[in-house]
């Protein structure tokens, strides 16, 4: 129910009782009015009766006066007669007015008047007659008869009027009863109607209220459930989660976060984040910027720099990988920061172990061909030594020694190339990429020859980049071995190095392209190429080569792309490695 | 004097082959050389060869393929495998009469050759006398 509806109901509950009671009052007024009218009719009857009695009394007064005069002959006795004489016609006139609406009573009145007039005529004749004739039995009896007739007529008028009055009284009583019962029933009915009406309105309001309440309760339940679900989710995920308010005070930490930091949520709550989340750079040991402050400053999601170490409360250190994101309200204002991190110590260790293992694998791959490369010249040297021991001819000796030196030089070159797979300078050095690739090809020479693979080199001289030579050797050994495996027996490999000009997205550098005549790469394989343990070589591959190569190239701020070759004569895959000239100034960490 | 024993050396390593030839010649052998499997097999079929010194790892045709071809042509002629490889295929070891690792030294090589030839000659001698 909305507010408008509610206001309408309020108006209804105000107006309906008022209107109903007004209607009831109007009917009551009408009823009372008609009762009053009936009451007035009674009064009217009373007036008629009173006047009729008055007339009778006045006539009797006249008769009494006349009788006295008859008996005494004294005119004084006629005083009452004279007094009443002018009053009676007035009374009759009044009665006529009163009874104007009642013809039967008017008839009675007219008759009474007639009889009175007759009697008046008699009275006047009596008064005019001589004294001796004034009173005798006949006259008296005549007078009495007339008077009786008048009385009877008056009586019947009065009786008729009182009958009328009685009827009118009954009518009034009936009306009063009706008013009373109407009042009672009306009140009861109005009460009932109002009650029912109010009840129905209240029911509606109450239902709406109840449904609002239910809705609120439902919302509260939903909210609670959602909150619980999120809480449980946060509690049960494997990553550590810390939520802070906009000032960097800790609001929430899940189990993992509590374990890694060594702080309980109850202790850490409302504490500044940097007190419980103490992070330093793994290598420099410098304190890292508080991620909350960084998020507030940059207003974006941030990832922590690589090599971040979390120093727990008990001084245990964890290598962590983390990100921090702002929490925004509906208007986009930052109301807090959520920090998500995980312990990657084991991952880092495993990664390091995998990288080391891959380096050994590369060395293992090369071992057989290196052994071959070293044993061949060694064999010659041993044979030459044998020959020298019994050779007298100085020219021959000279020749043998020269040959021995040549063979030893070859051994040393191979040995150096092999060792440089392991020896790594502390800092990046300048490397001639084309020379490095020549070295790698020297080590792989035997292996490639065994598979009768021909190598086409287009190496631009003096392509110098900064970097770690052993790692780069590893990358190219890996790429060339892959190309050889893909090309197969009697296959071909093309290696091309070139200078690249600076572009918007990357500085000047070197592009090394290794193409092969193999079957190329399917889209499905391409997707997984850089995933660790992904291999197309079955038992023979570790699935780490490209993964490690990628890491090394990324460490040199370079890129590595694998697609299908568009070079003439190379139908298979082509790997393009870009290395910037000055790599490590802007080195990025590996992207796991 | 017995006619010089003929050794066929098949190896793709030019210097190694040249030096080996000198060592064997100084030891009194008649030496034929081939720098790949194909020409080696051809030479083996054309010449009277008493023993073959075969390298394993060669471009084009590997030692085991060459050995199969040699055996097919003249099964009796002993073959000594001379290789820089440590791990050789099982089949290779059963195909040849003896194995040598490069770098073991000339004495070892000459000794092995003598042994193999003694067995070979013994077999022949026994065959001719009967």
pLDDT (tens digit per residue) in B40-63: 999 999 999 999 999 887 877 888
Which residues of chain A lie closer than 8 angstroms to B14, CB-CB? Answer: none
Cross-chain residue pair B84–A384, CB shorter than 8 Å: no
Q: Is the pLDDT of residue A211 over 70?
A: yes
Cross-chain residue pair B102–A378, CB shorter than 8 Å: yes
Identify the closest residue of chain A to B17 by CA–CA distance.
A380
Three-state SS annotation for A13-65: HHHHHHHHHHHHHHHHHHHHHHHHHHHHHHHHHHHHHHHHHHHHHHHHHHHHH
Q: What is the pLDDT of residue A394?
A: 92
Q: What is the pLDDT of residue B2?
A: 58
Residue A560 backbone phi and psi in degrees, to 5: -135, 125
For the entire predicted model, the pTM comes to 0.52
Q: What is the C-alpha to C-alpha distance for residues B7 and A591, in angstroms, rounded to an integer? A: 60
Q: What is the C-alpha to C-alpha distance for residues A414 and A432, in angstroms, rounded to an integer? A: 18
Sequence-separated (6 or more) residues with CB below 8 Å from residue A379: B16, B20, B82, B84, B102, B103, B104
Q: What is the C-alpha to C-alpha distance for residues A462 and A470, in angstroms, rounded to an integer? A: 18
Average pLDDT of the residues in A110-115: 92
Task: Using CB atoms, pick whichever of B16, B22, B60 lies closest to residue A379.
Answer: B16
Cross-chain residue pair B13–A449, CB shorter than 8 Å: no
Q: What is the C-alpha to C-alpha distance for residues A497 and A459, in angstroms, rounded to an integer? A: 5
Cross-chain residue pair B84–A382, CB shorter than 8 Å: no
* Helical axes A433-450 vs A394-419, angle rounded to 10°: 110
- Residue A441 near residue A413 (C-beta atoms within 8 A): no
Q: What is the C-alpha to C-alpha distance for residues A404 and A392, in angstroms, rounded to an integer? A: 17
| B1 band by pLDDT with thresholds 50, 70 and 90 | very low
Mutation pick from B64, B83, B100, B103 vs chain A, by most beta carbons of A within 10 Å, is: B103
Those residues of chain A whose CB sits closer than 8 Å to some CB in chain B are 368, 371-380, 382-384, 386-387, 390, 400, 403, 406-407, 446, 449-450, 452
Cross-chain residue pair B105–A386, CB shorter than 8 Å: yes
- Residue A447 near residue A484 (C-beta atoms within 8 A): yes
Identify the closest residue of chain B to A407 by CA–CA distance.
B15
| A183 band by pLDDT with thresholds 50, 70 and 90 | confident
Q: What is the DSSP letter of A99?
A: T
- Residue A254 near residue A241 (C-beta atoms within 8 A): yes
How many angstroms away from the CA of A573 is the closest CA of chain B?
24
ipTM metric: 0.87
| B127 band by pLDDT with thresholds 50, 70 and 90 | very low
| A592 band by pLDDT with thresholds 50, 70 and 90 | very low
Q: What is the pLDDT of residue A590?
A: 47
How many angstroms away from the CA of B89 is the closest CA of chain A?
13
Q: Which residue has the higher pLDDT, A65 or A585?
A: A65
Identify the closest residue of chain A to B62 by CA–CA distance.
A450
Q: Residues B11-45, buried b or exposed e (16+ Cβ, 10 A)? A: bbbebbbbbbbbbbeebebbbbbbbbbbebbebbe
How many angstroms away from the CA of B3 is the closest CA of chain A?
23
Cross-chain residue pair A450–B85, CB shorter than 8 Å: no
Q: Is the pLDDT of residue B86 over 70?
A: no
Cross-chain residue pair B105–A407, CB shorter than 8 Å: no
Q: What is the DSSP letter of B28?
A: T
Which residues of chain A lie closer than 8 angstroms to B19, CB-CB? Answer: 380, 383-384, 387, 400, 403
Average pLDDT of the residues in A443-457: 85
**Predicted confidence (pLDDT) per residue in A480-502, tens digit:** 988 998 888 889 999 999 998 88
Q: What is the DSSP letter of A254?
A: -
| A552 band by pLDDT with thresholds 50, 70 and 90 | confident
Identify the closest residue of chain B to A368 by CA–CA distance.
B85
Please give the structure tokens belonging to residue A374. Answer: 């070293």
Sequence-separated (6 or more) residues with CB below 8 Å from residue A450: A369, B57, B59, B62
Cross-chain residue pair B84–A386, CB shorter than 8 Å: no
Q: What is the pLDDT of residue A356?
A: 79
Please give the structure tokens belonging to residue A29. Answer: 């007024």
Q: Is the pLDDT of residue A571 over 50?
A: yes
Which residues of chain A lie closer than 8 angstroms to B15, CB-CB? Answer: 377, 380, 403, 406-407
């Amino acid at each position: 129910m909305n507010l408008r509806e509610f206001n309408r109901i309020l108006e209804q509950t105000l107006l309906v009782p008022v209107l109903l009671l007004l209607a009831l009052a109007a009917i009551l007024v009408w009823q009372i009015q008609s009762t009053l009218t009936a009451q007035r009719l009674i009064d009217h009857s009373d007036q008629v009766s009173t006047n009729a009695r008055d007339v009778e009394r006045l006539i009797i007064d006249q008769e009494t006066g006349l009788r006295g005069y008859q008996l005494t002959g004294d005119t004084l006795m006629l005083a009452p007669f004279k007094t009443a004489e002018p009053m009676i016609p007035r009374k009759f006139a009044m009665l006529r007015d009163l009874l104007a609406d009642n013809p039967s009573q008017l008839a009675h009145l007219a008759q009474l008047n007639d009889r009175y007039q007759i009697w008046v005529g008699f009275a006047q004749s009596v008064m005019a007659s001589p004294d001796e004739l004034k009173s005798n039995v006949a006259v008296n009896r005549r007078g009495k008869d007339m008077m009786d007739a008048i009385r009877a007529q008056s009586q019947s008028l009065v009786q008729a009027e009182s009958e009328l009055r009685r009827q009118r009284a009954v009518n009034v009583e009936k009306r009063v009863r009706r008013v009373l019962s109407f009042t009672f029933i009306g009140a009861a009915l109005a009460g009932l109607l109002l009650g029912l009406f109010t009840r129905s309105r209240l029911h509606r309001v109450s239902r709406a209220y109840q449904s609002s309440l239910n809705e609120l309760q439902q919302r509260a339940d939903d909210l609670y459930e959602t909150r619980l679900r999120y809480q449980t989710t946060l509690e049960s995920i494997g990553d550590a989660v810390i939520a802070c308010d906009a000032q960097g005070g800790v609001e929430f930490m899940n189990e993992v976060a509590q374990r890694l930091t060594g702080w309980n949520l109850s202790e850490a709550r409302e504490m500044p984040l940097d007190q419980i989340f103490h992070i330093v750079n793994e290598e420099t040991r410098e304190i890292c910027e508080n991620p909350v402050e960084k998020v507030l400053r940059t207003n974006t999601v941030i990832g922590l720099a690589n090599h971040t170490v979390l120093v727990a409360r008990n001084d245990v250190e964890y290598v962590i990988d983390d990100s921090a994101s702002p929490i925004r309200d509906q208007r986009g204002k930052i109301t807090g920061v959520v920090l998500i991190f995980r312990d990657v110590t084991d991952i880092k260790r495993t990664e390091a172990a995998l990288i080391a293992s891959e380096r050994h694998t590369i060395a293992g791959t090369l071992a057989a061909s290196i052994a071959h490369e070293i044993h061949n010249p060694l064999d010659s040297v041993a044979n030459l030594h044998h020959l020298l021991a019994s050779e007298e001819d100085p020219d021959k000796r000279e020749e043998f020694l020269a040959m021995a030196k040549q063979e030893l030089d070859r051994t040393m070159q191979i040995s150096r190339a092999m060792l440089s797979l392991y020896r790594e300078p502390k800092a990046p050095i300048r490397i001639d990429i084309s020379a490095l690739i020549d070295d790698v090809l020297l080590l792989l020479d035997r292996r490639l020859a065994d598979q009768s693979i021909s190598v086409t080199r287009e190496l631009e001289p003096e392509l110098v980049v900064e970097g770690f030579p052993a790692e780069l050797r590893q990358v190219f050994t890996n790429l060339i071995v892959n190309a050889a495996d893909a090309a197969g027996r009697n296959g071909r490999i093309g290696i091309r190095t070139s200078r690249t000009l600076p572009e918007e997205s990357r500085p000047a550098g070197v592009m090394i392209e290794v193409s092969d005549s193999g079957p190329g790469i399917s889209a499905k394989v391409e997707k997984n190429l850089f995933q660790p343990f992904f291999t197309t070589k079955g038992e023979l591959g570790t699935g780490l080569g490209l993964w490690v190569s990628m890491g090394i190239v990324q460490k040199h701020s370079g890129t590595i792309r694998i697609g299908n070759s568009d070079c003439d004569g190379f139908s298979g895959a082509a790997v393009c490695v870009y290395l910037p000239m000055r790599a490590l100034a802007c080195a990025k960490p590996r992207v796991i | 004097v017995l006619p010089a024993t003929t050794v066929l050396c098949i190896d793709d390593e030019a210097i190694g082959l040249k030096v080996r030839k000198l060592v064997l010649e100084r030891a009194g052998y008649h030496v034929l050389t081939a720098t790949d499997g194909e020409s080696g097999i051809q030479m083996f079929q054309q010449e009277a060869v008493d023993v073959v010194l075969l390298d394993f790892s060669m471009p084009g045709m590997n030692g085991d393929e060459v050995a199969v071809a040699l055996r097919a042509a003249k099964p009796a002629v002993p073959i000594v495998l001379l290789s820089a490889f440590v791990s050789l295929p099982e089949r290779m070891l059963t195909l040849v009469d003896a194995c040598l690792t490069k770098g073991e030294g000339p004495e070892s090589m000459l000794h092995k050759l003598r042994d193999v030839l003694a067995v070979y000659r013994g077999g022949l001698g026994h065959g001719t006398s009967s």
